[in-house]
Amino acid sequence: MAQLIIMPKLSDTMEEGAVANWLKKEGDSIEEGQDLVEIETDKATMTYSSFAEGVILKILLAPHKAAPLNAPMCVIGKKDETYNLDELIQKAAANIKPDKKSGDKKPAPTKPAVSPPAASSSAHTPPADARVASNERVKASPLAKKMAADKGINIATISGSGPSGRVIAKDLETVSSGASGPRAVRSGEDRVIANTMMRKTIAKRLLAGKNEAPHFYLTVSADMSRMNDWRVRLNKEADKTGVKVSVNDLVTLSVAKALVKHREINASWQGDSILEYGNVHVAMAVALPTGLVTPVIRFTDQLNIREIAKQSKELAGKAKDGKLSNEDYAGGTITISNLGMFGIEEFTAIINPPQASILAVGATILTPFVDAKGLVVVQPRMKITMSCDHRVIDGVMGAQFLQTLVSYLEEPLNML
Amino acid sequence: MSILTYREALGRAMTEEMVRDPKVFLMGEEVAQYNGAYKVSKGMLDRFGPERVIDSPISEGGFAGLGVGAAMVGLRPIIEMMTWNFGIQAFDQIINHAAKMLYMSSGQFNVPIVFRGPNGAAHMLAAQHSQTIEGMLTQVPGLKVVTSCNPADGYGLLKSSIRDNNPVIFLESEMMYAMKGEVPDDEHLIPLGVGSIKRAGQHVTLIAWAKMVSRAMDCAEQLAAEGVECEVIDPRCLRPLDEEMIFNSVRKTHRIVIIEEAYQAASVGSYIAEQVQRFCFDELDAPVMRVANEFVPMPYAESLEHLVMPEVERIIPVIKQVLYMR
């Protein structure tokens, strides 16, 4: 019996995916457990192994084309078996169970509008726009084609917003001309960069975070003299321990310890209730050339400073290699974003839902400071701005948490 | 300007033309003593006498033929069909004789005749009395086919039709006879073959004629609330057709929806769609879309009648589709 393989849900937040690479081509045989396809999800590129065995009869999803969950990807069956695609799609649709959490019926597979070309014999898919490389027919309205020709744009590079991805006039209105007419100045060429799954996820989650959570912001500064001393002493032993501790690791530890004291910050807005998390899992923002990820240091409050340093380094490394697993992302209860290494003094960050706060950490800068005795002293000071979801955290709650945090940063012994 | 009903505007057009030209006369079932089945010819018997306002027997083929003969020898008949459903009886005279005479006689005989009467569905008149004939008659070389959507257009176009030296099919509607509107007090002629922009807009072109114009205007009004500016064009004459006006509008809006009270196949709307895709192909940002009657004999039941005809609820989603809205 031929079997339809549909776009699997590879992470909790995945709503669509794209084929990064077919590892098999039409006519290849495959065994259960063998790698079938690499799928680009909102988080990472993951290899998907086949649950079915037989021969790849038909590939339905071209690489780099975003498709919703349960979209038909390919058909596997016996060699030369005939099958009815419509029936397979219907059967697959009938098997989809409603999402337990939301109760919503997941999107059912629907027949792709066009059959994409078969995967190339090489396991490497062309890296650039698949449509350009494959000469696949581009759907575009006649007006859009004329506009593209007038502007000297290859219409295959435009992603269409019309039905079945049809390129329509609107899609070209925002694209600048690539034509080189006579002009007095040299004009640079605009580039249209197709959004990766990661970029789409960043856009969606941050928009939701900013739109749904009413943000307010609290800024404090802390004298980092003692933290710096401690860090110097810790790192003198780096040769022995093999772990170098960063300012950010110290901040992470302090935040985790402060959260233990202020459980109400370690919480999330749930609509009809507020969920106060039983554990502290600090997420750290890691910048990548392609975007931003927030892997999680789990049970952060129960780790010592060297354990935190070790884990943060591991996670940052995995992030840069694109090797983060779903577990690495899951369950953060607060996020720390640090731009201090770029000399940023202070900034505000957007809350990463469903968390209730995010800390934006600036650079430690030698600053003249008027102390309690009225004397001007020069101190290494660091500013932290906390963005709070006002549905969960009120001003005083946030302020008290920051007071504790500052007391830990200024005197690490307070954490004991 | 005076406010006239559509029936009064048509009556005034005929009366003025009969005063102006003694060769013009009116013939049809009950046009004289009964003042017309729909009172379009009210008062005309008293004014012009039984030689020029003539009650005919119930024989469309017969009096249509009389009219063609009279036109061949120099008169200018207006032949009223009580409705075009009955006018089908006269299609042999209209198609084979009126339309072909000038050609078959090598230009010897003009047939300056107007066949006029209500066309399309009225209200619960069922399958045999709710037909539209413009699709059939625009297929015939030698005929002009004229519609109107308000009293002023009816007045100006009927006068031009009576003065035209070719056979003209003039299509009215029972549903419009009581419609009131401003009509110029001075003599006013609208040339045949010139369309009318009933509402200017830049986002989508709506083509409609006869009573579908008011449907298109209703849709335009509703969509204006959503920020969509519809351009409503009434071509008025379906043959000759003001293609240029339609093309110019499509070149501006890049999308078009054609609304007609007729069946989709081989209709005026399908001809317009073909012309637009041929001459405005590169201007289109969406497929040419059409809303027409469902392809069934018109049901008698009122509820079903509404479902068959293009109503606002059925038209608006199509307009949104070409606008790529939702």
Q: Residues B142, B280: one domain?
A: no
* Selection from A125-129, A365-369, B17-21 with the highest mean pLDDT: B17-21
Residue B189 domain-assigned (yes or no): no
Does pLDDT of A180 surpass 80? no
Query: What mean pLDDT is predicted for residues A200-222?
Result: 93
Residues forming beta bridges with residue A221, ordered by sequence position:
A383
* Domain stops at, among B183, B206, B228: B183
Quickly state the pLDDT bin for A20 (edges 50, 70, 90). confident
Strand order in the sheet with A3-6: A3-6, A72-77, A54-59, A29-30
Q: Residues B81, B25: one domain?
A: yes
β A267-269/B2-5 pair status? unpaired
> Residues 24-83, chain B: which have Cβ within 8 Å of A?
none
The domain A138-194 having CATH identifier 3.40.50.620: the answer here is no
| CATH, range A3-95 | 2.40.50.100
| Mean model confidence pLDDT for chain B | 97
pLDDT for A405: 97
Coarse DSSP helix, strand, coil percentages of chain B, rounded to the nearest 5 percent: 40, 20, 40
Q: Residues B98, B204: one domain?
A: no
Supply the DSSP symbol for B37: T
Q: Residues B178, B203: one domain?
A: no
Quickly state the pLDDT bin for A135 (edges 50, 70, 90). low
> Which of chain B's residues have a Cβ under 8 Å away from the Cβ of A161?
324
Residue B251 domain-assigned (yes or no): yes
pLDDT for A108: 59
Quickly state the pLDDT bin for B262 (edges 50, 70, 90). very high
Residue that wins the pLDDT comparison between A154 and A101: A154
Instruction: Tell me whether residues A142 and B286 touch, CB distance under 8 A.
Output: no
pLDDT for A53: 87
- Does A323 reach chain B within 8 Å, measured CB to CB? no
Tens digit of pLDDT for each residue in A402-413? 999 999 999 999
pLDDT for A111: 56
Does pLDDT of A181 surpass 60? no
Query: What mean pLDDT is predicted for residues A350-354?
Result: 93
Residue B141 domain-assigned (yes or no): yes
Q: Residues B10, B156: one domain?
A: yes
Residue listed under structure tokens 């006519």: A27
Q: Report d(CA B232, CA B216) in Å as an integer.
A: 7
pLDDT for A404: 97
- Does B281 reach chain A within 8 Å, measured CB to CB? yes
Which residues form the domain of B281? 196-322
- Establish whether A281 is a catalytic residue: no
| Mean model confidence pLDDT for chain A | 85
Does pLDDT of B321 surpass 60? yes
Query: What mean pLDDT is predicted for residues B37-64?
Result: 97
In angstroms, what separates the C-alpha of B286 from chain A's closest C-alpha? 6
Q: Residues B52, B137: one domain?
A: yes
Residue B188 domain-assigned (yes or no): no
Q: Residues B174, B201: one domain?
A: no
pLDDT for A97: 62
Residue B190 domain-assigned (yes or no): no
Does pLDDT of A321 surpass 80? yes
Query: What mean pLDDT is predicted for residues A32-55?
Result: 86
Q: Residues B98, B137: one domain?
A: yes
Looking at chain A, the whole-number percentage of residues with pLDDT higher than 90 is 46
Query: What mean pLDDT is predicted for residues A266-294?
Result: 93
Does pLDDT of B39 surpass 70? yes
**Directed axis angle between helix A247-261 and helix A305-320, to 10°?**
120
Residues forming beta bridges with residue A219, ordered by sequence position:
A385
pLDDT for A187: 61
Residue B256 domain-assigned (yes or no): yes
* Nearest CA-CA partner of B103 in B146, B65, B78, B140: B140
**Given CA atoms A6, A10, A15, A18 in this order, what sign does their dihedral have?**
negative
Instruction: Tell me whether residues A169 and B254 touch, CB distance under 8 A.
Output: yes
> CA-based angle B155:B161:B163, to the nearest 5?
105
Q: Report d(CA B66, CA B44) in Å as an integer.
A: 20
Q: Residues B177, B222: one domain?
A: no
Quickly state the pLDDT bin for B91 (edges 50, 70, 90). very high
Quickly state the pLDDT bin for B15 (edges 50, 70, 90). very high
pLDDT for A178: 53
Q: Report d(CA A294, CA A44) in Å as an integer.
A: 12
CB-based burial, B23-37: b 16+ in 10 Å, e otherwise: ebbbbbbbbbeebbb
Tens digit of pLDDT for each residue in A229-260? 999 999 998 888 888 999 999 999 999 999 99
- Rounded to two decimals, the pTM is 0.53
CB-based burial, A39-75: b 16+ in 10 Å, e otherwise: bbbbbbbbebebebebbbbbbbbbbbbbbbbbbbbbb
pLDDT for A238: 85
B247 within 8 A of B295, measured Cβ to Cβ: no
Q: Residues B156, B225: one domain?
A: no
Residues forming beta bridges with residue A46, ordered by sequence position:
A39
Q: Report d(CA A368, CA A346) in Å as an integer.
A: 17
Quickly state the pLDDT bin for A103 (edges 50, 70, 90). very low
> Which of chain A's residues have a Cβ under 8 Å away from the Cβ of B286?
141, 162, 168
CB-based burial, B51-86: b 16+ in 10 Å, e otherwise: ebbbebeeebeebbbbbbbbbbeebbbbbbbbbbbb
pLDDT for A109: 60
Domains of chain A, residue spans: 3-95, 138-194, 198-415
pLDDT for A155: 87
* Domain stops at, among B119, B150, B183: B183
CATH number for the domain spanning B253: value is: 3.40.50.920
Residue that wins the pLDDT comparison between B34 and A99: B34
> Which of chain B's residues have a Cβ under 8 Å away from the Cβ of A168?
285-286, 324
Looking at chain B, the whole-number percentage of residues with pLDDT higher than 90 is 99
pLDDT for A107: 56
Q: How many domains does chain B have?
A: 2
Tens digit of pLDDT for each residue in A118-133? 333 333 333 344 455 4
Q: Residues B24, B71: one domain?
A: yes
| CATH, range A198-415 | 3.30.559.10
Q: Residues B117, B249: one domain?
A: no
In angstroms, what separates the C-alpha of A143 from chain B's closest C-alpha? 5
pLDDT for A261: 95
In angstroms, what separates the C-alpha of B324 from chain A's closest C-alpha? 7
> Residues 230-259, chain B: which have Cβ within 8 Å of A?
254
